[in-house]
Amino acid sequence: MKIESAILYHGSYQIVEKPELAQCRKGKDFGQGFYLTTDKKQAERFTKTSVRKAVQNGTLSSQTKEGFISMFKVKSLSGLKVFEFKDADKEWLHCVVGHRRFGSLKGEVEKWSGFDIICGKIANDDTNLVITAYIDGAYGEIGSERADEIAIGFLEPNNLKNQLCFRTEKAINVLEYAGYESVAL
């Protein structure tokens, strides 16, 4: 995925000009970090999800009528350690599960700790049931070849969009804010 010349999108209930890692939640697909996508429609869907969650937890009024897509460009990847998953394969599945349920796959989170940016397919709302079933052992023991094959088969990896997780301050600092667009709800 070529990201240095691409516009990257972040969907949220608020405009984000300068991402703050401390504000980013833990337990997400590639760990704690600032998540972006090259797919504007994916960012729009996430904007709506973000607003809905913010209304539910009382951060926003139920009268809220818009969310925002913040846009970024990457200045340079020089000096950054970047890993890109080409497909939603066994390694990707283990990374996602390891970060979503810490301790579920021994050593998995530590394996990725040295990367500034991780890129790959997004495990979105459509795939959440499959990932949850996998974590709960519905397809067999987590990490077993059988469970991996069943889960990956259900995920339909070719239909998944991409995400980029900027995990370190060094990575955040290569992002250049490029404006925002409103998303009507």
The identity of residue 174, as a single letter, is V
Residue 157: per-residue pLDDT: 65
Question: What would the mean pLDDT of 104-111 be, rounded to a whole number?
Answer: 94
Residue 5: per-residue pLDDT: 79
Give the C-alpha separation, 95 to 126, whole Å.
18
Tokens of 35: 């998540």
Domain ranges of the chain: 8-184
Question: What would the mean pLDDT of 65-72 be, rounded to a whole number?
Answer: 97
For the chain, give percent helix, strand, coil, nearest 5: 35, 20, 45
Residue 158: per-residue pLDDT: 65
Residue 97: per-residue pLDDT: 95
Question: What would the mean pLDDT of 30-51 be, rounded to a whole number?
Answer: 95
Give the C-alpha separation, 158 to 138, whole Å.
23
Per residue in 123-168, pLDDT (tens digit) is 776 788 899 999 999 999 999 999 999 999 988 766 788 999 999 9
Per residue in 108-129, pLDDT (tens digit) is 999 999 999 999 998 776 788 8
Residue 155: per-residue pLDDT: 85
